[in-house]
Structure 1
Protein backbone atom coordinates (compact mmCIF):
# COMPACT_ATOMS: atom_id res chain seq x y z
CA UNK A 1 0.00 0.00 0.00
CA UNK A 2 1.35 3.42 -0.98
CA UNK A 3 0.86 6.17 1.61
CA UNK A 4 0.92 9.18 -0.68
CA UNK A 5 0.18 11.55 2.21
CA UNK A 6 3.48 10.58 3.83
CA UNK A 7 5.30 11.04 0.53
CA UNK A 8 3.78 14.50 0.15
CA UNK A 9 4.86 15.56 3.66
CA UNK A 10 8.38 14.23 3.10
CA UNK A 11 8.84 16.20 -0.14
CA UNK A 12 6.94 19.32 0.88
CA UNK A 13 8.75 20.02 4.18
CA UNK A 14 12.16 20.89 2.61
CA UNK A 15 10.42 23.10 0.05
CA UNK A 16 8.43 24.85 2.77
CA UNK A 17 11.56 25.43 4.85
CA UNK A 18 13.31 26.91 1.83
CA UNK A 19 10.62 29.61 1.64
CA UNK A 20 12.15 31.35 4.68
CA UNK A 21 15.24 32.11 2.62
CA UNK A 22 13.68 32.92 -0.74
CA UNK A 23 12.01 36.08 -1.92
CA UNK A 24 10.09 37.46 -4.87
CA UNK A 25 9.46 35.29 -7.89
CA UNK A 26 11.55 32.39 -6.56
CA UNK A 27 9.41 32.12 -3.43
CA UNK A 28 6.18 32.46 -5.43
CA UNK A 29 7.19 29.73 -7.87
CA UNK A 30 8.16 27.38 -5.02
CA UNK A 31 4.81 28.00 -3.33
CA UNK A 32 2.97 27.03 -6.51
CA UNK A 33 5.10 23.90 -6.87
CA UNK A 34 3.98 22.88 -3.37
CA UNK A 35 0.39 23.76 -4.25
CA UNK A 36 0.68 21.62 -7.39
CA UNK A 37 1.81 18.63 -5.34
CA UNK A 38 -1.09 19.15 -2.95
CA UNK A 39 -3.52 19.31 -5.86
CA UNK A 40 -2.10 16.03 -7.18
CA UNK A 41 -2.76 14.43 -3.79
CA UNK A 42 -6.31 15.79 -3.60
CA UNK A 43 -7.14 14.87 -7.20
CA UNK A 44 -6.26 11.25 -6.46
CA UNK A 45 -8.97 11.21 -3.79
CA UNK A 46 -11.50 13.06 -5.96
CA UNK A 47 -10.92 10.83 -8.99
CA UNK A 48 -11.16 7.69 -6.86
CA UNK A 49 -14.43 8.92 -5.38
CA UNK A 50 -16.04 9.48 -8.79
CA UNK A 51 -14.70 6.20 -10.17
CA UNK A 52 -16.28 4.36 -7.24
CA UNK A 53 -19.47 6.42 -7.35
CA UNK A 54 -20.11 5.71 -11.04
CA UNK A 55 -18.60 2.22 -11.01
CA UNK A 56 -16.44 3.20 -13.98
CA UNK A 57 -14.19 0.76 -15.77
CA UNK A 58 -10.44 1.31 -15.85
CA UNK A 59 -10.59 2.69 -19.39
CA UNK A 60 -13.49 5.02 -18.63
CA UNK A 61 -11.78 6.28 -15.49
CA UNK A 62 -8.51 7.24 -17.21
CA UNK A 63 -10.15 8.68 -20.33
CA UNK A 64 -13.27 10.38 -18.94
CA UNK A 65 -12.95 10.96 -15.18
CA UNK A 66 -9.27 11.51 -14.40
CA UNK A 67 -8.63 14.21 -17.06
CA UNK A 68 -11.62 16.25 -15.91
CA UNK A 69 -10.82 16.01 -12.20
CA UNK A 70 -7.12 16.77 -12.58
CA UNK A 71 -7.39 19.67 -15.02
CA UNK A 72 -10.27 21.35 -13.18
CA UNK A 73 -8.50 21.04 -9.84
CA UNK A 74 -5.23 22.37 -11.24
CA UNK A 75 -6.88 25.56 -12.46
CA UNK A 76 -8.69 26.35 -9.18
CA UNK A 77 -5.65 27.68 -7.24
CA UNK A 78 -4.63 29.67 -10.31
CA UNK A 79 -8.05 31.33 -10.46
CA UNK A 80 -7.85 32.09 -6.74
CA UNK A 81 -4.46 33.72 -7.32
CA UNK A 82 -5.91 35.74 -10.20
CA UNK A 83 -8.96 37.00 -8.35
CA UNK A 84 -7.26 37.81 -5.05
CA UNK A 85 -3.85 39.12 -6.11
CA UNK A 86 -4.52 40.36 -9.68
CA UNK A 87 -1.04 39.46 -11.00
CA UNK A 88 0.41 40.55 -14.32
CA UNK A 89 0.29 38.10 -17.28
CA UNK A 90 3.88 36.92 -16.80
CA UNK A 91 3.20 35.93 -13.20
CA UNK A 92 0.06 34.06 -14.25
CA UNK A 93 2.06 31.88 -16.64
CA UNK A 94 4.76 31.27 -14.03
CA UNK A 95 2.15 30.28 -11.43
CA UNK A 96 0.47 27.86 -13.84
CA UNK A 97 3.82 26.28 -14.70
CA UNK A 98 4.68 25.96 -11.01
CA UNK A 99 1.44 24.10 -10.35
CA UNK A 100 2.09 21.84 -13.36
CA UNK A 101 5.67 21.11 -12.26
CA UNK A 102 4.55 20.24 -8.73
CA UNK A 103 1.68 18.07 -9.98
CA UNK A 104 3.78 16.19 -12.54
CA UNK A 105 6.71 15.70 -10.15
CA UNK A 106 4.59 14.37 -7.31
CA UNK A 107 2.70 12.07 -9.67
CA UNK A 108 5.98 10.63 -10.96
CA UNK A 109 7.31 10.17 -7.41
CA UNK A 110 4.17 8.22 -6.49
CA UNK A 111 4.60 6.12 -9.64
CA UNK A 112 8.20 5.36 -8.67
CA UNK A 113 7.17 4.37 -5.16
CA UNK A 114 4.48 2.05 -6.45
CA UNK A 115 6.30 0.49 -9.40
CA UNK A 116 9.99 0.76 -8.56
CA UNK A 117 12.86 2.36 -10.46
CA UNK A 118 14.48 -0.64 -12.11
CA UNK A 119 13.69 0.22 -15.74
CA UNK A 120 15.36 3.45 -16.85
CA UNK A 121 13.70 3.35 -20.29
CA UNK A 122 10.18 3.14 -18.84
CA UNK A 123 10.88 5.98 -16.43
CA UNK A 124 12.39 8.10 -19.20
CA UNK A 125 9.30 7.51 -21.34
CA UNK A 126 7.09 8.47 -18.42
CA UNK A 127 9.07 11.67 -17.91
CA UNK A 128 8.71 12.78 -21.53
CA UNK A 129 5.07 11.70 -21.72
CA UNK A 130 3.09 11.98 -18.47
CA UNK A 131 5.42 14.61 -17.01
CA UNK A 132 5.43 16.58 -20.26
CA UNK A 133 1.63 16.35 -20.46
CA UNK A 134 1.21 18.33 -17.24
CA UNK A 135 3.77 20.89 -18.41
CA UNK A 136 1.88 21.20 -21.70
CA UNK A 137 -1.40 21.81 -19.88
CA UNK A 138 0.33 24.27 -17.54
CA UNK A 139 1.64 26.24 -20.51
CA UNK A 140 -1.76 26.23 -22.21
CA UNK A 141 -3.62 27.31 -19.08
CA UNK A 142 -1.03 29.94 -18.17
CA UNK A 143 -0.93 31.68 -21.53
CA UNK A 144 -4.62 31.09 -22.23
CA UNK A 145 -5.94 32.44 -18.95
CA UNK A 146 -3.50 35.37 -19.01
CA UNK A 147 -4.86 36.26 -22.45
CA UNK A 148 -8.59 35.93 -21.76
CA UNK A 149 -8.43 37.78 -18.44
CA UNK A 150 -7.29 40.91 -20.29
CA UNK A 151 -10.80 41.08 -21.71
CA UNK A 152 -13.46 40.83 -19.03
CA UNK A 153 -16.20 39.93 -21.50
CA UNK A 154 -14.56 36.61 -22.39
CA UNK A 155 -12.83 35.88 -19.06
CA UNK A 156 -15.33 33.23 -17.94
CA UNK A 157 -16.05 31.55 -21.27
CA UNK A 158 -12.39 31.81 -22.30
CA UNK A 159 -11.23 30.12 -19.10
CA UNK A 160 -13.77 27.32 -19.59
CA UNK A 161 -12.52 26.91 -23.16
CA UNK A 162 -8.87 26.75 -22.09
CA UNK A 163 -9.58 24.18 -19.38
CA UNK A 164 -11.73 22.23 -21.82
CA UNK A 165 -8.86 22.11 -24.30
CA UNK A 166 -6.54 20.78 -21.58
CA UNK A 167 -9.08 18.12 -20.65
CA UNK A 168 -9.16 17.06 -24.30
CA UNK A 169 -5.33 16.97 -24.45
CA UNK A 170 -5.27 14.87 -21.31
CA UNK A 171 -8.02 12.54 -22.47
CA UNK A 172 -6.43 12.01 -25.89
CA UNK A 173 -3.08 11.24 -24.25
CA UNK A 174 -4.64 8.68 -21.88
CA UNK A 175 -6.58 7.13 -24.75
CA UNK A 176 -3.51 6.82 -26.95
CA UNK A 177 -1.29 5.23 -24.31
CA UNK A 178 -4.08 2.77 -23.53
CA UNK A 179 -3.72 1.44 -27.08
CA UNK A 180 -1.05 -0.74 -28.64
CA UNK A 181 1.81 -0.36 -31.08
CA UNK A 182 1.96 2.89 -33.00
CA UNK A 183 -0.91 4.46 -31.07
CA UNK A 184 0.91 4.04 -27.77
CA UNK A 185 4.13 5.45 -29.27
CA UNK A 186 2.19 8.43 -30.61
CA UNK A 187 0.75 8.97 -27.13
CA UNK A 188 4.18 8.98 -25.55
CA UNK A 189 5.47 11.56 -28.05
CA UNK A 190 2.29 13.64 -28.21
CA UNK A 191 2.92 15.97 -25.20
CA UNK A 192 6.61 16.65 -25.89
CA UNK A 193 5.87 17.23 -29.57
CA UNK A 194 3.24 19.84 -28.77
CA UNK A 195 5.56 21.55 -26.28
CA UNK A 196 8.23 21.76 -28.98
CA UNK A 197 5.71 23.25 -31.43
CA UNK A 198 4.60 25.82 -28.84
CA UNK A 199 8.23 26.73 -28.15
CA UNK A 200 8.89 27.29 -31.86
CA UNK A 201 5.73 29.37 -32.23
CA UNK A 202 6.68 31.44 -29.19
CA UNK A 203 10.04 32.25 -30.78
CA UNK A 204 8.41 33.15 -34.10
CA UNK A 205 5.85 35.45 -32.46
CA UNK A 206 8.56 37.08 -30.35
CA UNK A 207 10.61 37.89 -33.46
CA UNK A 208 7.53 39.24 -35.25
CA UNK A 209 6.74 41.49 -32.27
CA UNK A 210 10.31 42.82 -32.18
CA UNK A 211 10.26 43.54 -35.92
CA UNK A 212 6.93 45.36 -35.63
CA UNK A 213 8.22 47.50 -32.75
Structure 2
Protein backbone atom coordinates (compact mmCIF):
# COMPACT_ATOMS: atom_id res chain seq x y z
CA UNK A 1 0.00 0.00 0.00
CA UNK A 2 1.24 3.47 -0.87
CA UNK A 3 0.69 6.04 1.88
CA UNK A 4 0.64 9.14 -0.26
CA UNK A 5 -0.08 11.38 2.72
CA UNK A 6 3.20 10.33 4.33
CA UNK A 7 5.06 10.89 1.08
CA UNK A 8 3.46 14.33 0.80
CA UNK A 9 4.60 15.33 4.29
CA UNK A 10 8.13 14.08 3.63
CA UNK A 11 8.44 16.16 0.45
CA UNK A 12 6.44 19.24 1.40
CA UNK A 13 7.68 19.95 4.92
CA UNK A 14 11.25 20.97 3.91
CA UNK A 15 9.82 23.34 1.32
CA UNK A 16 7.34 24.77 3.80
CA UNK A 17 10.11 25.35 6.34
CA UNK A 18 12.22 27.07 3.69
CA UNK A 19 9.44 29.62 3.12
CA UNK A 20 10.27 31.26 6.47
CA UNK A 21 13.79 32.10 5.34
CA UNK A 22 13.50 33.13 1.68
CA UNK A 23 11.87 36.14 0.08
CA UNK A 24 10.82 37.42 -3.30
CA UNK A 25 10.35 35.30 -6.38
CA UNK A 26 12.21 32.33 -4.91
CA UNK A 27 9.69 32.18 -2.09
CA UNK A 28 6.79 32.34 -4.51
CA UNK A 29 8.28 29.57 -6.62
CA UNK A 30 8.76 27.31 -3.58
CA UNK A 31 5.22 28.08 -2.42
CA UNK A 32 3.73 27.07 -5.74
CA UNK A 33 5.78 23.87 -5.70
CA UNK A 34 4.09 22.99 -2.41
CA UNK A 35 0.70 24.00 -3.80
CA UNK A 36 1.30 21.75 -6.81
CA UNK A 37 2.07 18.79 -4.55
CA UNK A 38 -1.04 19.56 -2.49
CA UNK A 39 -3.21 19.70 -5.58
CA UNK A 40 -1.80 16.36 -6.72
CA UNK A 41 -2.71 14.80 -3.37
CA UNK A 42 -6.22 16.25 -3.38
CA UNK A 43 -6.85 15.34 -7.02
CA UNK A 44 -6.10 11.70 -6.17
CA UNK A 45 -8.94 11.79 -3.64
CA UNK A 46 -11.31 13.55 -6.03
CA UNK A 47 -10.53 11.22 -8.94
CA UNK A 48 -10.98 8.16 -6.70
CA UNK A 49 -14.33 9.50 -5.51
CA UNK A 50 -15.68 9.98 -9.03
CA UNK A 51 -14.21 6.66 -10.14
CA UNK A 52 -16.18 4.91 -7.41
CA UNK A 53 -19.28 7.06 -7.93
CA UNK A 54 -19.52 6.20 -11.63
CA UNK A 55 -18.21 2.66 -11.24
CA UNK A 56 -15.47 3.29 -13.80
CA UNK A 57 -12.60 0.89 -14.35
CA UNK A 58 -8.98 2.02 -14.26
CA UNK A 59 -8.61 2.68 -17.98
CA UNK A 60 -11.84 4.66 -18.23
CA UNK A 61 -10.95 6.69 -15.17
CA UNK A 62 -7.49 7.55 -16.51
CA UNK A 63 -8.88 8.74 -19.85
CA UNK A 64 -12.19 10.37 -18.86
CA UNK A 65 -12.05 11.32 -15.17
CA UNK A 66 -8.46 11.99 -14.15
CA UNK A 67 -7.68 14.66 -16.79
CA UNK A 68 -10.73 16.74 -15.86
CA UNK A 69 -10.09 16.50 -12.11
CA UNK A 70 -6.35 17.19 -12.29
CA UNK A 71 -6.44 20.05 -14.77
CA UNK A 72 -9.45 21.67 -13.10
CA UNK A 73 -7.80 21.54 -9.69
CA UNK A 74 -4.49 22.86 -11.05
CA UNK A 75 -6.27 25.84 -12.58
CA UNK A 76 -8.07 26.85 -9.37
CA UNK A 77 -4.98 28.02 -7.39
CA UNK A 78 -3.79 30.01 -10.40
CA UNK A 79 -7.16 31.78 -10.70
CA UNK A 80 -7.18 32.44 -6.95
CA UNK A 81 -3.67 33.91 -7.15
CA UNK A 82 -4.64 36.22 -9.99
CA UNK A 83 -8.02 37.34 -8.67
CA UNK A 84 -7.00 37.88 -5.03
CA UNK A 85 -3.39 39.09 -5.25
CA UNK A 86 -3.62 40.75 -8.69
CA UNK A 87 -0.05 40.01 -9.86
CA UNK A 88 1.33 41.37 -13.10
CA UNK A 89 0.29 39.17 -16.04
CA UNK A 90 3.88 38.22 -16.80
CA UNK A 91 4.18 36.60 -13.36
CA UNK A 92 1.49 34.01 -14.03
CA UNK A 93 3.39 31.63 -16.36
CA UNK A 94 6.17 31.15 -13.78
CA UNK A 95 3.61 30.47 -11.04
CA UNK A 96 1.73 27.98 -13.23
CA UNK A 97 4.94 26.19 -14.22
CA UNK A 98 6.06 25.91 -10.58
CA UNK A 99 2.66 24.49 -9.67
CA UNK A 100 2.88 21.99 -12.53
CA UNK A 101 6.43 21.00 -11.53
CA UNK A 102 5.32 20.35 -7.95
CA UNK A 103 2.40 18.28 -9.21
CA UNK A 104 4.59 16.21 -11.55
CA UNK A 105 7.27 15.68 -8.89
CA UNK A 106 4.82 14.36 -6.32
CA UNK A 107 3.07 12.18 -8.91
CA UNK A 108 6.37 10.63 -10.04
CA UNK A 109 7.52 9.96 -6.49
CA UNK A 110 4.23 8.19 -5.73
CA UNK A 111 4.63 6.16 -8.92
CA UNK A 112 8.17 5.15 -7.93
CA UNK A 113 7.04 4.17 -4.45
CA UNK A 114 4.25 1.99 -5.80
CA UNK A 115 6.03 0.38 -8.75
CA UNK A 116 9.68 0.37 -7.77
CA UNK A 117 12.69 1.88 -9.51
CA UNK A 118 14.27 -1.12 -11.22
CA UNK A 119 13.62 -0.18 -14.85
CA UNK A 120 15.65 3.00 -15.28
CA UNK A 121 14.90 3.36 -19.00
CA UNK A 122 11.13 3.21 -18.54
CA UNK A 123 11.22 5.55 -15.56
CA UNK A 124 13.34 8.04 -17.48
CA UNK A 125 10.86 8.00 -20.36
CA UNK A 126 7.93 8.33 -18.00
CA UNK A 127 9.60 11.13 -16.05
CA UNK A 128 10.27 13.11 -19.18
CA UNK A 129 6.87 12.38 -20.75
CA UNK A 130 4.64 12.91 -17.71
CA UNK A 131 6.75 15.82 -16.55
CA UNK A 132 6.62 17.44 -19.98
CA UNK A 133 2.84 16.99 -20.08
CA UNK A 134 2.31 18.80 -16.78
CA UNK A 135 4.76 21.56 -17.73
CA UNK A 136 2.99 21.91 -21.08
CA UNK A 137 -0.36 22.34 -19.34
CA UNK A 138 1.25 24.77 -16.90
CA UNK A 139 2.63 26.89 -19.72
CA UNK A 140 -0.75 26.91 -21.49
CA UNK A 141 -2.74 27.76 -18.36
CA UNK A 142 -0.28 30.40 -17.11
CA UNK A 143 0.02 32.17 -20.43
CA UNK A 144 -3.68 31.71 -21.17
CA UNK A 145 -4.90 33.23 -17.90
CA UNK A 146 -2.48 36.14 -18.26
CA UNK A 147 -4.01 36.89 -21.65
CA UNK A 148 -7.74 36.29 -21.22
CA UNK A 149 -8.01 38.31 -18.00
CA UNK A 150 -6.49 41.30 -19.77
CA UNK A 151 -9.72 41.27 -21.77
CA UNK A 152 -12.58 41.13 -19.27
CA UNK A 153 -15.14 40.15 -21.88
CA UNK A 154 -13.08 37.04 -22.60
CA UNK A 155 -12.44 35.99 -18.99
CA UNK A 156 -15.16 33.35 -18.54
CA UNK A 157 -15.12 31.78 -21.99
CA UNK A 158 -11.33 32.07 -22.18
CA UNK A 159 -10.89 30.26 -18.85
CA UNK A 160 -13.22 27.51 -20.04
CA UNK A 161 -11.17 27.24 -23.23
CA UNK A 162 -7.90 26.99 -21.30
CA UNK A 163 -9.34 24.25 -19.10
CA UNK A 164 -10.67 22.43 -22.16
CA UNK A 165 -7.33 22.60 -23.97
CA UNK A 166 -5.33 21.34 -20.98
CA UNK A 167 -7.86 18.60 -20.29
CA UNK A 168 -7.79 17.58 -23.95
CA UNK A 169 -3.99 17.33 -24.09
CA UNK A 170 -3.97 15.38 -20.82
CA UNK A 171 -6.66 12.96 -22.02
CA UNK A 172 -4.89 12.42 -25.36
CA UNK A 173 -1.64 11.64 -23.53
CA UNK A 174 -3.34 9.17 -21.18
CA UNK A 175 -5.17 7.54 -24.09
CA UNK A 176 -2.01 7.11 -26.14
CA UNK A 177 0.12 5.64 -23.36
CA UNK A 178 -2.54 3.01 -22.65
CA UNK A 179 -2.18 1.79 -26.26
CA UNK A 180 0.58 -0.43 -27.63
CA UNK A 181 3.45 0.01 -30.04
CA UNK A 182 3.88 3.23 -31.96
CA UNK A 183 0.87 4.93 -30.41
CA UNK A 184 2.38 4.62 -26.95
CA UNK A 185 5.68 6.05 -28.18
CA UNK A 186 3.77 8.92 -29.79
CA UNK A 187 2.13 9.57 -26.44
CA UNK A 188 5.51 9.72 -24.72
CA UNK A 189 6.90 12.11 -27.31
CA UNK A 190 4.13 14.57 -28.10
CA UNK A 191 4.26 16.66 -24.86
CA UNK A 192 7.98 17.30 -25.37
CA UNK A 193 7.40 18.06 -29.04
CA UNK A 194 4.73 20.64 -28.21
CA UNK A 195 6.96 22.19 -25.55
CA UNK A 196 9.71 22.53 -28.14
CA UNK A 197 7.29 24.30 -30.48
CA UNK A 198 6.23 26.68 -27.69
CA UNK A 199 9.87 27.38 -26.82
CA UNK A 200 10.60 28.29 -30.45
CA UNK A 201 7.54 30.52 -30.62
CA UNK A 202 8.50 32.26 -27.39
CA UNK A 203 11.88 33.19 -28.84
CA UNK A 204 10.89 33.96 -32.40
CA UNK A 205 7.60 35.75 -31.87
CA UNK A 206 7.75 36.96 -28.28
CA UNK A 207 4.87 34.59 -27.58
CA UNK A 208 5.12 34.88 -23.80
CA UNK A 209 5.00 38.07 -21.80
CA UNK A 210 8.39 39.43 -20.77
CA UNK A 211 9.47 41.31 -17.69
CA UNK A 212 10.43 44.93 -18.10
- Shorter chain as denominator, the TM-score bin is over 0.9
Partner of 1:25: 25
CA drift of 1:104 comes to 0.3
| Unpaired segments ≥5 residues, structure 1 | none
Residue 181 of structure 1 pairs with residue 181 of structure 2: yes
Match of 1:133 in 2: 133
Paired residue secondary structure (1:118): coil
Which whole-Å CA distance do the structure 1 matches of 2:151 and 2:100 have between them?
25
- Higher-helix-fraction structure: 1
State the alpha-carbon separation in 2 of the partners of residues 65 and 53 from structure 1: 11
Q: Deviations over 1:133-187 (max 9, x none)?
A: 0000000000011010100000111011011000000000000001110000000
Q: Name 2:97's counterpart in structure 1.
A: 97
Counterpart position of 2:59: 59
Shift of 1:206: 2.6
TM-score under structure 2 normalisation?
0.96
TM, length-normalised to structure 1: 0.96
* Match of residue 194 from structure 2: 194
- The CA distance in 2 between the partners of 1:130 and 1:174, in whole Å, is 9
State the Cα distance separating 1:202 from its structure 2 match: 0.8
Q: Secondary structure at the match of 1:20?
A: coil
Map 1:5-20; keep pairs closer than 5 Å.
5-20=5-20
Work out whether 1:171 is the aligned partner of 2:177: no
- TM-fit CA distance, 1:90: 1.7
Distance 2:58 2:152 in 1: 40
1:47-84, CA deviations, whole angstroms, 9 ceiling, x for partnerless residues?
00000000012221011000000000000111111110
Instruction: Count residues with an aligned counterpart.
Output: 208
Q: CA RMSD in A?
A: 1.2
Q: Give the Å deviation of 1:17.
A: 1.1
Counterpart of 1:206 in 2: which secondary structure?
coil
Give the superposition deviation at 1:117.
0.9
Distance 1:38 1:52 in 2: 22
Match of 2:145 in 1: 145
Query: Separation in 2 of the partners of 1:90 and 1:117?
Result: 38
Cα distance in 1 between the residues matched to 2:18 and 2:167? 33
In structure 2, distance between residues paired with 1:131 and 1:94: 16
User: Counterpart in 2 of 1:68?
Assistant: 68
DSSP 3-state at the match of 2:19: helix
CA distance in 2, matches of 1:21, 1:120: 36
Give the aligned partner of residue 114 of structure 1: 114
